[in-house]
């Protein structure tokens, strides 16, 4: 039996039901271990999402019949991999298939933040548009500017390719320097100071975890040019929210476009009052094409593990 924690796209659910006996939980909001443990009888596979935290305590409480946990995500921070390995539980995830969708959303946020699109829509909806004027609602152009990418993996490289179409110069920070054929002219920086000082735009596309926790803190924000714009579609934990909110208030950071947050679905309230913060509800991979591909890939992994 396959236990599915959340509502899945119709095509994904149909395939799951064709291949397995399925028990759907359709959970919403905050996850609790009891959601799993109260419904685990007869289950040998689980399909979850990043909002479902499978820590060591939960994994150790699973019955021996559970052989695989599939996660509807690229990241694995929500699963204690050591505990799963100790129990002989296989883990499968969904890399590669959401690359384009997430890169597109990074570009969307960058353009929205630069051109103050969210603020402009709110003006219209409130009936407060005074009409055209030479100085009304001025934003910042993107063409010819410098984009820095933190995390030059598949998504970062896809964003770089899109940015080149906008005549942007691309700089990047990464664990290691890429081969020239992957860099495609992007400029690598070995240290944060030279990287941040060069940027008009910073896009965070790095994974979560201890290495990147609060990477964008007050000290690194101070290294950015006044008026820089920040975008994050990676992990919310990469940003020190208090520091970014303070920089948005002073204007040192002109705008930010954020799709991910540290304690989702809770949002730091300081962002909500800021007109120069573009906020989206973690929809980086939320296209029909990407979500179907993610579900199918997770089911492929579950099928292979059970076989």
49 in Cβ contact with 5 (< 8 Å):
yes
15 lies in the same domain as 128: no
Do you know the residue count of the chain?
A: 307
Q: How far apart are CA 45 and CA 22, in angstroms?
A: 10
128 lies in the same domain as 211: yes
211 in Cβ contact with 183 (< 8 Å):
no
Which pTM was predicted?
Answer: 0.92
Q: Active site residue: 23, 154, 252, 282, which one? A: 282
Q: How far apart are CA 103 and CA 32, in angstroms?
A: 31
Number of domains in the chain: 2
Q: Active site residue: 264, 275, 289, 291, which one? A: 264
85 lies in the same domain as 106: no
Using DSSP's 3-state secondary structure scheme, residue 92 falls into strand
Greatest alpha-carbon span in the chain: 69
138 lies in the same domain as 107: yes
pLDDT at 88 over 90: yes
pLDDT band at 32 (very low <50, low <70, confident <90, very high): very high
Verify whether residue 282 is a known catalytic residue.
yes
131 lies in the same domain as 255: yes
Q: How far apart are CA 187 and CA 170, in angstroms?
A: 6
122 lies in the same domain as 266: yes
Q: Are strands 253-258 and 277-279 parallel, antiparallel or unpaired?
A: parallel
Verify whether residue 77 is a known catalytic residue.
no
Q: Residue 259's domain spans which residues?
A: 99-279
Verify whether residue 11 is a known catalytic residue.
no
10 Å CB burial of residue 53 (0-12, 13-18, 19+) is middle
Measured CA to CA in angstroms, residue 272 lies from 27, 117, 225, 266 at distances of 26, 16, 24, 11
126 lies in the same domain as 78: no
What is the model's pLDDT at position 208?
87
Domain CATH number, residue 29: 3.40.50.720
Average of per-residue pLDDT across 161-186 = 97
């Amino acid at each position: 039996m396959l236990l599915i924690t959340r509502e899945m796209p119709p095509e994904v659910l149909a395939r799951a039901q064709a291949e397995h006996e399925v028990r759907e939980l359709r959970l919403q909001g905050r996850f609790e271990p009891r959601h799993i443990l109260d419904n685990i009888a007869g289950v040998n596979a689980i399909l979850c999402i990043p909002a479902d935290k499978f820590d060591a305590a939960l994994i150790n409480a699973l019955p021996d019949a559970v052989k695989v946990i599939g996660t509807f995500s690229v990241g694995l921070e929500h699963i204690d991999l050591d505990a799963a390995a100790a129990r002989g539980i296989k883990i499968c995830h969904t890399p590669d298939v959401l690359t384009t969708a997430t890169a597109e959303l990074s570009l969307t946020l960058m353009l929205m933040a630069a051109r103050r699109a969210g603020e402009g829509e709110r003006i219209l909806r409130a009936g407060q548009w005074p009409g055209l004027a030479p100085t009304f609602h001025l934003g910042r152009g993107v063409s010819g500017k410098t984009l820095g990418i933190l995390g030059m993996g598949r998504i970062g490289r896809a964003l770089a390719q899109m940015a080149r179409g906008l005549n942007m110069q691309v700089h990047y920070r990464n664990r290691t320097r890429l081969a020239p054929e992957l860099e495609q002219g992007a400029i690598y920086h070995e240290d944060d100071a030279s990287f941040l000082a060069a940027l008009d735009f910073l896009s965070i596309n790095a994974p979560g975890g201890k290495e990147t926790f609060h990477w964008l803190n007050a000290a690194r924000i101070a290294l950015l040019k006044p008026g820089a714009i920040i975008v994050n579609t990676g992990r919310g934990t990469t940003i020190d929210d208090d520091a970014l909110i303070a920089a948005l208030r002073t204007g040192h950071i002109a705008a930010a476009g954020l799709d991910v947050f540290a304690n989702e679905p809770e949002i730091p309230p300081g962002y909500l009052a800021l007109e120069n913060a573009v906020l989206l509800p973690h929809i980086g991979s939320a296209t029909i094409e990407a979500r179907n591909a993610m579900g199918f890939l997770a089911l492929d992994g579950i099928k292979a593990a059970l076989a």
